[in-house]
A = this chain, B = another copy of it.
Amino acid sequence: MSDNNDLRDTSTASEDRAGGVYVDTQAVDDVRDAVAAHNAYAVEKTLDDLDPADAADVVEQLSANETQAAARLAPEAFGGDVLAELSDDALEDVVESLNPQQVADAITDMELDDAVQLVEELDEQFRVGVLAKLAPDVRASLESSLKFEEDSAGRLMQREFVTAPQFWTVGQLVDHVRLADEDNLPDVFYEVYVVDPAFHPVGTVAVSTLLRAGRDTALSTLMSTLRAVVTPQMDQEDVAYLFEKYDLPSAPVVDVEGRLTGMIMVDDIVEVLHEEHTEDMLALAGVNEAGLADTIMETVRSRAPWLAINLGTAILASIVIAMFSTVISKIVALAVLAPIVASMGGNAGTQGLAVAVRAIASRDITSSNVRRIILREISAGLINGLIFAVIMGPIAYFWFHSLPLAMVIGAAMLINLLIAGLAGILVPLGLKQFGADPAVASSVFVTTATDVIGFFVFLGLATLVLL
């Protein structure tokens, strides 16, 4: 009977887990009600009953005020396991409501890389207070990680990893791992790094390979060559690229002398890929940063700067239009049609831009093919220009019964889509060349170019031909 129950419990649990794709909105409501009722026990119980990752999802659903209230009410519900899973902005809200001792306790339970992410969110003074409450060894590893730049491999790496000299057998390695102090071993590891006498990594052995091999097998016969080595200064995007390219479960981090100093695990890279995805999408659309718990004013602040820049470029385009006031006042059709030329250019430019930004991020554009890619973008722009010139010309003709006007808009369309093709590839490549992130500012430059040139070419040609 109890066996039967066990089975049923298990299968229900499995179904619940498969439902992990969606947030448990019942739990969100429960926490919200508990916070409103100042019921600390209910907050803690609801969150504790969930998998830490699910509890973090629930917390992320709350507004900043609710999160702060929940953390003040039931600090015990926000242990290291939950904090490690929280998004940066929810994390900030929680730690603001905890005291230094509570934050220090949470950090002690966390993996180093998660702890670093938490400490990054603390303001200077609070950080000093938290660090003072930590055990000296934990503080030391945290401080050494924080010496590396944000978004660098140094911040992602953990200090625990398993190494073995080349001349060991499987049996020697297994005994070493069993006897090692728990604190010096990672909780989970997928590979053992084989090192030479100077502590340079020379190869890896998958843990599953070790499991399969007999105790007397020499490690050197099981070892795979290193596919990638990371340095602490590397940008996390470059590290993610290596993981993706070489299908790595983990990567060794080496210091300037090539000595093994850390390990980065693939689950941290999955996190990085998610972050980079969001950053790129927001950058393309001109948003500085966005969190779900952002207040209205934070939302305004994240968007207004790019809107201000857009206003500047829109005014620039308007100045171009104003240069042609005379011809517009005589032929109003020009005011009607000009935005079509600009809009098509902006659209085509953004298309090329998005393709280029992804190709640059995937290291797909190199000196070997850059000429071919640029030529392709220009040619595609020219052909699309021809296509839409041939479509738009007749539309303008039947609308305004003017052959010269039809020819002017056709020519302007052709030229602006060509410019769009050029700008869509050259702007991101140029920004990359100057060390800027092509995802961030390209959009503004490209649409400014297509707006200004689109209006200028169309209205300029109209002045020449129609006046």
Contact = CB atoms under 8 A, between A and B. Distances in A.
Interface in A442-467: 451, 455
Interface string A21-33: 1110100110010
18 contacts: A10-B202, A18-B230, A20-B245, A21-B242, A23-B368, A57-B363, A189-B208, A247-B270, A282-B358, A285-B355, A292-B373, A299-B376, A307-B344, A307-B347, A307-B348, A310-B343, A311-B392, A318-B339
Nearest to A295: B376
Given A14-B254, A376-B294, A267 B285 contact: no
Contact of A290 (B53, B329, B338, B355): B355
A441 interface: no
Interface stretch (A41-49, A68-76, A100-108, A210-218): A210-218
Given A14-B201, A340-B314, A321 B335 contact: yes
A98 interface: no
Given A296-B376, A340-B314, A364-B292, A258 B351 contact: no
A179 to B, nearest CB: 10
- Contact-residue size bin, chain A (C-beta under 8 Å from the other chain): 35 or more
Given A303-B384, A395-B315, A249 B266 contact: yes
Contact of A287 (B29, B189, B351): B351
A359 interface: yes
Contact of A228 (B18, B241, B284, B384): B18
Interface string A214-235: 1000000000011111110010
Contacts of A278: 358, 362
B14 A363 contact: no
The dominant DSSP class at the A interface is helix
Interface in A332-360: 332, 334-340, 342-344, 347-348, 350-351, 353-355, 357-359
Q: How many copies does the complex hold?
A: 2
A206 interface: yes
Contacts of A388: 307-308, 311
B201 A211 contact: no
A260 to B, nearest CB: 10
A122 interface: no
A178 B25 CA distance: 46
A128 interface: no
B227 A17 contact: yes
Contacts of A267: 247-249, 266
A262 interface: no
A310 to B, nearest CB: 5
A340 B310 CA distance: 9
Contacts of A321: 335-336, 339
Contacts of A437: none
A53 B246 contact: yes
B286 A350 contact: yes
B348 A303 contact: yes
A269 interface: yes
Contacts of A227: 17, 20, 51, 53
A254 B348 CA distance: 45
Contacts of A258: 11, 14
A132 interface: no
Contacts of A93: none
A424 to B, nearest CB: 9
Contacts of A207: 190, 207-208, 211
A433 interface: no
B383 A300 contact: yes
A228 B355 CA distance: 34
B344 A335 contact: no
B276 A266 contact: no
